[in-house]
Structure 1
């Protein structure tokens, strides 16, 4: 039986491990902190292929400069002397064109279209978790704000996805958590959501139940390719296998610098918290102008937002939580935004061109699965399935060919 070491116990790493098991591979999953300890725990949990689109678009040139001046801006860039960060931002901004958006969207569409069925494969084969249908409720304070969102949906449909969209005439009857200031509301179908932390834990449990090894005290300090690639842990222990998969999210650069992976991965940190609501929340809510994403979560309402470019290990910045609250205060009702629980920051792995890094590195037997930006949850199972196929058979599915980590 062949073997594989997977570094990273988030959605992407565990889905890769699960699909390697499907192909008869013995897996060991290593993580320095725990299951879903990175960006997999506190995100909005959206399974929304219709919103899995390039992060950089032409609107970046409008709101980008605000990120340096407005403390409440949804995109936040701390003003600091960091040449690496500014180099990344310059390349990221260069992709904020219509032509680049179309090119990236074309590359994402094949994996977007298979994303939901890959969740069904997991939940139908022993992963004890659920996915739930929307609809997603999308709100704006005025008509002109919706133009960019509608243009994005039109682009997604043009590239081959089905995204049902209709105007909601009485939004408070559907989502009582929206205030009267949200006057333009759409219902977006064809999307689902999960409770991400519990789902990823259920996936980890399934990997272990099928004979996999999961170690959550394992800090990998180095790795090497070869006929038997191996990893070295902080305690000096060495593990070897037939393949190694690096799925460490925003921490990818720490292990991939010498593997031919030239695309920079920058931590784009997202924040979230949960609040109680006077009336039960049933559906995800998206406020595009404020870039706030909300989801029912364990009887509460999880509110997530912001994109903050800092180091992945920097501490939570309370000011970013306050920024989300300030944006949401006039748009939400029937909740106490001061009584917050589960305040969280997670580092999403963002690439300048908006495409993940999935596939073989220059080191024999070593593979990368990461760089999904905001879309690691929704694309994780499909990524794991296609990468497992490549590892075992040597065939690269066309859906992940554009994600070549050596590009």
Structure 2
């Protein structure tokens, strides 16, 4: 059976390879090409320990302070505030304790599946050598900030996630060069990373082609279905017919889903980063500055300083002052960091209000499978999502309960 996957990011290409492995004939369509969006510029982490949803009471407590700083960890540009208000209301509702518990359980199931599937997938695609296992160190400015994080660590412990709380001396042994303001930390060894997310996604594209797959560059604007299949409507080109379609177009997915009569509340967490030369600092593991909303990662291509959330949609111009602000903080937090020679980037993270992706069939037709809305966790959950998409395409029982990820849950 022929399958068209819309989107050549890490989710789409992973799903395409998983479908190929089930014996399906697959074509991938992307408006720009492989690794053109968030799959190119993310922090490169397989954050399997990051089971707590962004929508949580803790974020609600921090949000008022953060929103007062236009360059802080969370911002909503005034020009976009009215448009995003309905999404923010749904986000607020998702922060209720019962909703957070349900989201955490669902997130954990997808994380466990993704971790279990990762290394076999890497081996099958010839990318195993790109995997790094350096872990992640979350740092805190004082005992009060550390204590405030303990409920989250208790939730992780309940799900069997290993971690170690550290004092300043222990942190210095693990990662020399931290500023004295960071007095406490927590190290999670089960936090993996990829050598470079763009190179990894490009390698997946090359393996997909080597397996006989085709990647087309076209702007998909709509889907039309009938009893025999699905027509993929592209701007300025003839329709492409398929037996089934996987919609994995990241932050643009909801626009295509509207052609099937669905209005899915997808928003864009605009993320910023600066990639410095590899010798900018001797980074031993990924560092997370949770109180400031950004991370520092070592990639094979340099040192990446990035993160934060700007809820600004797809059309507003980038505000690279946000990248500058994170880099200045990084210099203060790591006094030995050399901030020169960096390359800035902004990308769109597709996000749903409850911090869970949409994985499941379209309401209008079972021939269309949705796989989008992973927020910060697209790379992390890519292989698990690919397994679930392949199960749906082939009519097999899903590896985990898909009800929490139902695209129609809103």
Deviation sequence 1:149-170 (CA, Å, 0-9, x none): 3321211232x23223232533
Contact 1:7–1:246 (8 Å) recurs in 2: yes
Question: What is the match of residue 206 of structure 2?
Answer: 205
Q: Closer, same or farther in 2 for the Cα pair 1:156/1:210, shift >3 Å?
A: same
Question: What is the match of residue 238 of structure 1?
Answer: 239
Deviation sequence 1:273-308 (CA, Å, 0-9, x none): 122445532311111111111110125321111100
SS of 1:49's partner is coil
Question: What is the match of residue 52 of structure 1?
Answer: 51
CA distance in 1, matches of 2:301, 2:396: 45
2:78 aligned with 1:86? no
Question: What is the match of residue 269 of structure 2?
Answer: 268
CA distance in 2, matches of 1:120, 1:317: 37
Question: What is the match of residue 16 of structure 2?
Answer: 17
Equivalent runs, 1:141-160 vs 2, <5 Å: 141-158=141-158, 160=159
Aligned residues: 403
User: What stretches of structure 1 of length at least 5 have no aligned partner?
Assistant: none
1:310 pairs with one of 312, 315, 323: 312
Question: What is the match of residue 28 of structure 2?
Answer: 29
Deviation sequence 1:203-241 (CA, Å, 0-9, x none): 1111111000012x2111111123211101112221111
Deviates more, 1:103-112 or 1:73-82: 73-82
2:256 aligned with 1:255? yes
Q: Closer, same or farther in 2 for the Cα pair 1:71/1:220, shift >3 Å?
A: same
Q: Closer, same or farther in 2 for the Cα pair 1:100/1:147, shift >3 Å?
A: farther
SS of 2:49's partner is helix
CA distance in 1, matches of 2:323, 2:280: 22
Q: CA deviation at 1:313?
A: 4.1
Query: In proportion to residue count, which structure has more helix?
Result: 2
Question: What is the match of residue 132 of structure 2?
Answer: 132
CA distance in 2, matches of 1:173, 1:106: 34
SS of 2:218's partner is coil
Question: What is the match of residue 74 of structure 1?
Answer: 73
Q: Closer, same or farther in 2 for the Cα pair 1:211/1:402, shift >3 Å?
A: same
Deviates more, 1:226-235 or 1:325-334: 325-334
SS of 2:333's partner is coil
Deviation sequence 1:31-81 (CA, Å, 0-9, x none): 111212111111111112111321111122222223442123200111136
CA distance in 2, matches of 1:153, 1:261: 37
* TM-score w.r.t. length of structure 2: 0.93
Q: Closer, same or farther in 2 for the Cα pair 1:271/1:279, shift >3 Å?
A: closer
CA distance in 1, matches of 2:285, 2:80: 42
Deviates more, 1:133-142 or 1:75-84: 75-84
Question: What is the match of residue 38 of structure 1?
Answer: 37
User: What stretches of structure 2 of length at least 5 have no aligned partner?
Assistant: none
* TM-score w.r.t. length of structure 1: 0.94
Contact 2:38–2:348 (8 Å) recurs in 1: yes
CA distance in 2, matches of 1:301, 1:89: 33
2:335 aligned with 1:333? yes
Question: What is the match of residue 360 of structure 1?
Answer: 361
RMSD: 1.8
Question: What is the match of residue 373 of structure 1?
Answer: 375
Deviates more, 1:265-274 or 1:89-98: 89-98
Q: Closer, same or farther in 2 for the Cα pair 1:197/1:81, shift >3 Å?
A: closer
CA distance in 2, matches of 1:231, 1:185: 49
